[in-house]
């Protein structure tokens, strides 16, 4: 019998998954040669440039209250010559890695509602995989026209996300649910969790689960097709539509990204979209930047940073639309 202390209570855990994936990617390589994507820069310089850039993106993302993928994908597609298929694949990869790192403590403490995860993860994961397959189809069949379409559509989505952050209604930390619809009641999504800040168990109910399920389909499709982190959309669905507490919404969002994007990343891998020389520094930079940003947030006011990121997103969206117009076949 294997002694428990060999793995301890912590076990291998979800935190090992991104690192095992990283070893797999580095060992198997990819269909793209590194020399074709580094634009004449030495591989070592290429590695450290994107490590530093993604470190900064990770810090700004935390201070602005958004996921790193929301900033990473449009910036890379708008301001670098790297193939958009590789950028979208890497966006999904870093979102998946960050979510898997964060998921374990949320599940262990019982904050993430496992019943809502079972309900929401299925439509999200299935549609994310469909979106990833659609991305491969557009790349293979539509050529330059497909590339222009992806950049233009992403530009519109990024501008829409910026508007959402500016004009969206205020999120409720503990929404009050007076009446639960029959469908949500039959799913049995009501649960409770221990809230350290209040020193008590918070019991809550949710409603409109049928609408939430449909919205998760759309979020998954967008996430898989464009390589965007989905937290910007899933947190409002859980909190504003289904009326789950804000902390539950945020933790469920993180865990669901880890579930759905783990499936959606494979069509990109099979299509040769993961370039280790690009994916590895981006993943390390965003995760380390997120950890640094979380500590900085404790001592600074992040309001200015949030609006700065919104401006950056508008700029990236406009740039993407301009590039789409330039690339569209005459």
pLDDT tens string 56-103: 888 877 776 666 777 888 888 888 888 888 998 998 888 887 777 777
Question: Is residue 29 in some structural domain?
Answer: no
pLDDT of residue 181: 87
User: To the nearest 10°, the Cα dihedral for 322, 132, 261, 309?
Assistant: 0
Range of the structural domain that residue 206 is part of: 41-327
pLDDT of residue 169: 57
Question: Is residue 33 in some structural domain?
Answer: no
The residue among 82, 23, 29, 35 whose CA lies nearest residue 54 is 82
Question: Is residue 23 in some structural domain?
Answer: no
Token look-up 């590789």 returns 86
Question: Is residue 21 in some structural domain?
Answer: no
pLDDT of residue 213: 93
pLDDT of residue 122: 92
Question: Is residue 35 in some structural domain?
Answer: no
CA distance linking residue 5 with residue 142, whole number of Å: 55
pLDDT of residue 302: 55
The residue among 214, 217, 212, 210 whose CA lies nearest residue 235 is 212
Helix axes 84-108, 16-28, angle to 10 degrees: 150
CA distance linking residue 171 with residue 90, whole number of Å: 30
User: What's the structural domain count of the chain?
Assistant: 1
pLDDT of residue 168: 63
Pull the structure tokens for residue 311. Answer: 């401006």
Kindly report, residue by residue over 46-55, the tens digit of the pLDDT.
889 999 999 9
Question: Is residue 249 in some structural domain?
Answer: yes
Question: Is residue 89 in some structural domain?
Answer: yes
pLDDT of residue 131: 92
Q: Establish how many alpha carbons lie within 13 A of residue 272's alpha carbon, considering only the half-sphere containing its beta carbon.
A: 9
Q: Write the DSSP symbol of residue 298.
A: T
pLDDT of residue 13: 45
Beta bridge mates, 204: 191
pLDDT of residue 323: 85
CA distance linking residue 193 with residue 189, whole number of Å: 13
Instruction: Name residues of the chain where pLDDT drops below 50.
Output: 1-36
Question: Is residue 9 in some structural domain?
Answer: no
Q: For the chain, how far is it from start to end, CA to CA, in angstroms?
A: 69
The residue among 211, 8, 180, 21 whose CA lies nearest residue 98 is 21
């Amino acid at each position: 019998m294997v002694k428990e202390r060999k793995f301890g209570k912590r076990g291998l855990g979800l935190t090992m998954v991104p690192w095992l994936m990283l070893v797999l990617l580095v060992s198997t390589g990819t269909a793209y040669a590194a020399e074709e994507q580094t634009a004449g820069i030495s591989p070592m310089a290429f590695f450290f440039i994107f490590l530093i850039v993604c470190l900064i993106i990770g810090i700004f993302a935390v201070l602005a209250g958004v996921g790193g993928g929301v900033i990473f994908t449009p910036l890379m597609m708008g301001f670098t010559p790297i193939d958009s298929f590789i950028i979208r694949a890497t966006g999904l990869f870093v979102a998946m890695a960050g979510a898997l790192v964060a998921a374990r403590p949320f599940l262990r403490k019982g904050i993430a509602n496992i019943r809502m995860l079972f309900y929401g993860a299925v439509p999200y994961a299935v549609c994310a995989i469909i979106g990833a397959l659609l991305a491969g189809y557009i790349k293979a069949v539509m050529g330059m026209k497909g590339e222009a379409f992806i950049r233009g559509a992403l530009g519109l989505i990024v501008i829409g996300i910026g508007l959402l952050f500016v004009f969206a209604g205020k999120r409720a930390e503990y929404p009050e649910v007076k009446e639960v619809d029959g469908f949500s009641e039959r799913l049995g999504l009501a649960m409770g969790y221990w809230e350290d800040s209040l020193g008590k168990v918070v019991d809550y109910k949710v409603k409109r689960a049928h609408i939430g399920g449909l919205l998760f389909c759309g979020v998954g499709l967008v996430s898989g097709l464009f390589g965007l982190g989905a937290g910007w959309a899933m947190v409002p669905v859980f909190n504003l539509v289904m009326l789950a507490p804000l902390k539950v919404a945020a933790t469920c969002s993180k865990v669901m990204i880890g579930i759905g994007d783990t499936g959606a990343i494979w069509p990109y891998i099979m299509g040769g979209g993961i370039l280790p020389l690009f994916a590895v520094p981006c993943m390390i930079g965003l995760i380390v930047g997120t950890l640094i940003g979380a500590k900085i947030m404790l001592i600074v006011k992040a309001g200015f940073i949030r609006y700065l990121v919104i401006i950056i997103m508008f700029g990236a969206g406009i740039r993407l639309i301009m590039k789409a117009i330039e690339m569209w076949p005459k």
